[in-house]
Structure 1
């Protein structure tokens, strides 16, 4: 996979995690631990995107 392809895949994963967070927060059975875990994963993906974009420039 090319670097651009990997970055695109990470961006899609980041968007999917954002959608999952929004869905969970709108749920009547809102779970703080689940939202926190999703936000942590989203941040990890964002950090990885940043790492790839700064090393390729």
Structure 2
């Protein structure tokens, strides 16, 4: 898998997590720990995207 295609996949996953976080925050009775877990996953993806983007430049 090339770096650019890997970056595109990570960005897609990051966008999906963004939507999941938004939905979870709007839903009544959603566990705060679940939302925090989603946000951590999203942050890890963002950091990986930034790391790969800086190496690819």
Same fold (TM over 0.5): yes
Helix, strand or coil: the match of 2:29? coil
Paired residues, what number?
57
Q: Following the alignment from structure 2 to structure 1, what is the Cα–Cα distance between the partners of residues 53 and 31?
A: 33
The alignment yields a C-alpha RMSD, in angstroms, of: 0.6
Q: Please list every run of at least 4 consecutive aligned residues from structure 1 whose deviation after the TM superposition is greater than 4 angstroms.
A: none
Residues 14-53 of structure 1 deviation map (CA, whole Å, 9 limit, x = unaligned) = 0000000001001011221001000000000000000100
Q: Following the alignment from structure 2 to structure 1, what is the Cα–Cα distance between the partners of residues 49 and 34?
A: 23
Structure 1 residue runs of 5 or longer lacking an equivalent are none
Normalising by structure 1, we get a TM-score of 0.95
Normalising by structure 2, we get a TM-score of 0.95
